[in-house]
Amino acid sequence: MYEVIMYDGGVYRSDELYELIEDVGGVVLQKTRSAQMLTVTMSIPSEDRDVVVALCKDIGGQVKEVPLAGTEIAVVGPTLGRHHMPHPICDVAEQLRRCGAVTVVMGLARGRGKNTSQISLEETSILDEYDACVFMLGNFKACVETKADLLLSKISVPTVLICGPEPEGVEGTCDAIVSGIGRKASRMRSVEERKKLDEVGTRVEEVLADKKKAIEEDPPFVHPSEIKALLENYPPIDMCLRPAPLVMHLDGLRAKVSYDECHEDIENMEVYGRRLGDVCVITPSKINDSSVLIRIKTRSQVAYEDSLKASQ
Amino acid sequence: MASETQVIGPDPYGNERYKALYEEILADIGKLAAIDRSLIMLEPEIPFFAVSVRMKARPSAKKIGDVASTRMERDIVYVSISDEMYAPGTLTALWNVYGRDNVQQTDRLDITVVGAKRSADVDAIEVESTSHPVQDILGAIWRVLPEGIRNRRTFTTDDVITAIATEEIMRPEHIEKGRSLHESMVDGGVLNV
C-alpha cells in the first residue's frame, strides 16, 4: 500500500531524500522549487513512511499530509471576468493545492446571467478530463438553483457546488454542496472563511474517496505513478519547460506534450512486457494539441481483451 | 457622517452579501466616503437590479492647486504633489499646457515647469473634471451588479446617480421603477416604489 506525503523545506540535502525515495521503491509525484525552498510530493510504501519522515525532519523540513495528491481538479467560475475573479475562485483553488491537488482555474464562455447562461459541449468534454470539478456560483438562491441544474447536470465527473445560500432541489445534479461562499471582492482571511475553505477541502476529499473506492473495485492495470516514472525519461517530457509536464489522475495521467508528435512513441513504450498503447487509451486533450490524456485500462478490461485475442 | 446603505429584495442572504460587496467595491475605489446614501434594489427572480447613490456634495473639478503645492523660483515653477492618486493626471495636464520639453518629473511626486508666468497659473489647471467621480461611481456600480445583467440604463441628477439593469428586455415598468427610485432619492431618500 502506497501513501502520499509532502516534504516542505529547503533544498539542502534534498538529493538524499530523492535517493531514499528511490531506494524504498517510491516515486516523486511533483516537486516545486522556489529559490531555496522546495516542496516534494511523493508516493512511498506505507511500511517505509517512518524512515522517510525521519529523514525529512533530519534535513530540516516538515512533512504534511496531502489527501488530494495525485489528482487534477478544475475550479470553474461562470466567467473569467472581474466579477468572479480572483476571489473567491482563487482562494478555493489555493486551498485545493494545499491539499495536494493540481488545480486548473477555468471560466465558461457564456456562463454569466441567469436565463442566458449556458455551457457548451466542448466545455463539458474538457471538464470531463479532470478527476473532479468544483463549480463556483453566486449569492442569489434563485440563480444558484437555475444554474446548478443547467451547468452541473451535464458533467460526468464528480462535481462539488460552492455557492452562497443553501440551494434546494439540486441534490441530484452534484456530488456535494458547500454553501456560505458566494461572490465577494476580497480575500477569504477571517476565521469563518478559513473554516469554509477547510470544509471545501474535506468535501472534495470525500467525493474523491468515493471515486477511489469505485476504482479500487476494478483497479487500473498499472498504477499511474509507474507510467509517470516511465515517461519522465522520455526526452520531449524531460525537456518540457511547463511547470508540471506530467500530471497524475486517479485513473491515468496527463502528459503535456503534443499528441500528434508524441503519441506513437508513447504507445510503443513497454510496461510489464506490454505496449503502453495496449493497456491504456491514449487520446489528445480537448483543450488543444498541447497535451495527451492517458487513461489506464482496468485489469478486467485488459484480461477481457486478452481473452478476445486468444480466441481469434 | 458615515455612508448609509439600504438593500431591498426578497432574498435575505443575497441582500446581506450584496451590501457587503457594494461597500467593499466602493471602499476599494476610494469613493465610499463621498457617498451620503445608497439604495440597492435586488430582484433576482425577474431579474431586475437597481442601485441609487446620493453623494455628499455635488462633485467639483479638481485643480492642481487642490492636489499639489506650487512655488516659483527663478522662472521655474516647482510642483509638489500631495495626493499621489493625481500624479499621472497632473503630469498629463502640465504636458498639455506647457509641452513635454518644459515639464520634467524630477521625482515620483515632484515636477518642474518652465514657461509659466506665475505659480497661480499652474494652480488653476484642471486635473480632474466634474464627470470623473461620477464615472468612477458608475464603474463601481457596474462591477457590483451581476455580470450577466447587461441591459442597463442610467439616470443622473446633480448629486444622485441611479443605475438599473436587467438581463434581457428592459420593460417600461422596469424603467418606471428605476425612475421612481431615482426621484425618491432626489427628494431625500424616502422610498416611493
Instruction: Name the 3-class secondary structure at A258.
Output: coil
Residues forming a β-bridge with A136: A162
B191 touches chain A (CB under 8 A): no
- Chain B residue with minimal CA distance to A165? B13
C-alpha distance from residue B90 to each of B70, B79, B84, B87, B176 (Å): 12, 9, 10, 5, 42
Chain B contact set for A186 (CB, 8 A): 24
Distance of CA A267 to the CA centre of its chain: 23
Q: Could you tell me the three cell numbers for A87?
A: 476571489
- Report pTM: 0.85
CB contact (8 A) between residue B44 and residue A140? yes
Which of A87, A139, A144, A163 is the mutation pick for testing B, counting most B CBs within 10 A? Answer: A139
pLDDT confidence band for B9 (50 / 70 / 90): very high
B129-176 pLDDT, tens digit each: 888 888 889 999 999 999 989 899 999 988 899 999 999 999 999 999
Residue B148 contacts A, CB cutoff 8 Å? yes
- List the Cα angle B166/B168/B170 in 5-degree steps: 60
B 158-177 residues with CB below 8 A of A?
Answer: 167-168
A14 grid coordinates: 534534498
Q: What is the ipTM of this complex?
A: 0.81
Count helices and strands in chain A by DSSP H and E runs: 11, 15
Distances (CA, A) of B87 to A2, B91, B106, B119, B121: 60, 6, 12, 17, 18
Contact across the interface for A83 and B146, Cβ inside 8 Å: yes
* B17/A112 Cβ within 8 A: no
pLDDT-derived band at A257 (thresholds 50, 70, 90) equals very high
Residues from chain A that touch B42, judged by Cβ atoms under 8 A, are 140
The pairing of beta strand A72-77 with beta strand A62-65: unpaired
The whole-number average pLDDT for the span B12-28 is 93
pLDDT tens-digit map of A171-228: 889 999 999 998 988 899 999 999 999 999 999 999 999 999 999 999 999 989 889 9
Task: Tell me the three cell numbers of residue B168.
Answer: 434581457
Does B43 touch chain A if contact means CB atoms closer than 8 Å? no
Judged against a pLDDT cut of 80, whether residue A1 lies above it is answered with: no
Whether A2 shows a pLDDT value over 90: the answer reads: no
A:B CB pairs within 8 Å: 72
Of A82, A139, A184, the CB nearest to B14: A139
A94, pLDDT greater than 60: yes
Report CB contact under 8 Å: A116, B149: no
C-alpha cell at A34: 522556489
Closest residue on chain B to A139 (Cα)? B14
CB contact under 8 A, B14 and A165: yes
